[in-house]
Structure 1
């Protein structure tokens, strides 16, 4: 399984649409280990209007662990087959480990104060 995390300085970036890069982990769900790591540069502009959902989906990403994210971005990612869990923060590997332990769930909170919303 592949998961993506909007990143800045090896931490979850609090704002998906303006992150520095995306970290993609390939995870073995049986052993609950990270098998490999890849970084994908963040596209210029707002995340929900970029092609990042397609790029991540084409790489096989099926889950995004994110901080804050607008509803438009959630819909774009979901339509590309990527489940979104919002409300994450902190070190990338720690967040991933907590998700693997089953202690992280979606906050349900959407960011409403940025230019990506119609």
Structure 2
């Protein structure tokens, strides 16, 4: 299983379409541990109009843990087979581990609400 997070300085970037890069964690679903980490360059321009959803999907990513994201980007990622959790912030590895442990849920917030933590 692979989890992607829009990243800026090892933190979840609050703006999916303008992140520095994406952190992709490979996780072992059976023991809820991260087994590998890699980065993917962020495309130039708006995230939802780029091919990033297909790049990540082709890598095997099935989950995107993000801060704020518009509905257009959510739809593009969902169409590529990637589940999206919005409203998250903080350290990318910690957020991925929280998702693996089942303590993270989607806030349902589109890109108009800022400065809030993931809902546990």
Bigger mean CA deviation after superposition, 103-112 or 17-26? 103-112
1:38 aligns with 2:38: yes
Which residue in 2 is equivalent to 1:69?
69
Which residue in 1 is equivalent to 2:55?
55
Structure 1: where are the runs of 5+ without partners? 114-118
Partner SS, residue 76 of structure 1 = helix
Judge conservation of contact 2:77–2:84 (CA < 8 Å) in 1.
Answer: yes
Partner SS, residue 54 of structure 1 = helix
- Measured after TM superposition, the shift of residue 97 of structure 1 is 1.2
Which residue in 1 is equivalent to 2:116?
none
Structure 2: where are the runs of 5+ without partners? 114-120
Give the paired residue count. 113
Which residue in 1 is equivalent to 2:6?
6
Partner SS, residue 93 of structure 1 = helix
In structure 2, how many angstroms separate the alpha carbons of the residues matched to 1:49 and 1:112? Answer: 19
1:103 aligns with 2:85: no
In structure 1, how many angstroms separate the alpha carbons of the residues matched to 2:5 and 2:91? Answer: 10
Per-residue CA distance 1:35-65 (angstroms, 9 max, x = gap)? 1011000000000000000100000100000
Which residue in 2 is equivalent to 1:28?
28
- Measured after TM superposition, the shift of residue 112 of structure 1 is 4.9
Could you state the TM-score of these two structures normalised by the residue count of structure 1?
A: 0.93
Could you state the TM-score of these two structures normalised by the residue count of structure 2?
A: 0.91
Which residue in 2 is equivalent to 1:15?
15
- Measured after TM superposition, the shift of residue 100 of structure 1 is 1.3
